[in-house]
Each structure stands twice: as structure tokens, then as C-alpha cells.
Amino acid sequence: MDYLKFTDFRNHSKEYFDKVEQGSSFIIIRKGKPVAKILPFKESIAGWKRDNIKIKLKTAKTTLDYITEERNEK
């Protein structure tokens, strides 16, 4: 695990995050004291989007029809 000055990390964060993705780890030093540890994430994540459940209406109306009806009532 390498030590890294905060200003170096701030100025070159993209390069350091690329190194973290490749497996490197860093301890960030600010004013001579360690403030953060950056480690690669070991678990795999399927994705940030959820699977959407499509809702089927029992009538021929669309959701847009319901919205416009509700707006016209007011």
C-alpha cells in the first residue's frame, strides 16, 4: 500500500483511480496525517440500474390518458 499526498491525489485523481481499478491501494496523507484509505472493491456489482417491472393496465387507456384526465378535472 502506497502513501499519497492529498494534493497529488486531488490533481491526478483519474490516474490514481485507474490504478485502484487495476488492484493498487493507497493511503492519503493530509498535513502529515493519514485521512483515507482507497482500496479496490472486491465484490462484483450487477449494475447500478434496477430491473424495471412493466405494469400492464387492465383498460385500453394509457397512463398519459389518466394524467391528462386528472389535470383537466382541476
Cell of 27: 493511503
Give the separation between CA 12 and CA 6, rounded to whole angstroms.
10
For domain 1-41, give the CATH number.
3.40.1620.10
DSSP 32: T
Sequence letter at residue 66: Y
Rg (CA), the chain: 25
pLDDT per residue of the chain (74 residues) written in tens, 0 to 9: 899 999 999 999 999 999 999 999 999 999 999 999 999 987 766 666 777 777 777 778 888 888 898 898 86
For the chain, the domains span 1-41
pTM of the model: 0.55
Element (DSSP H or E) covering residue 52: none
Q: What is the pLDDT of residue 59?
A: 79
Sequence letter at residue 23: G
Residue 5 β-bridge partners: 29
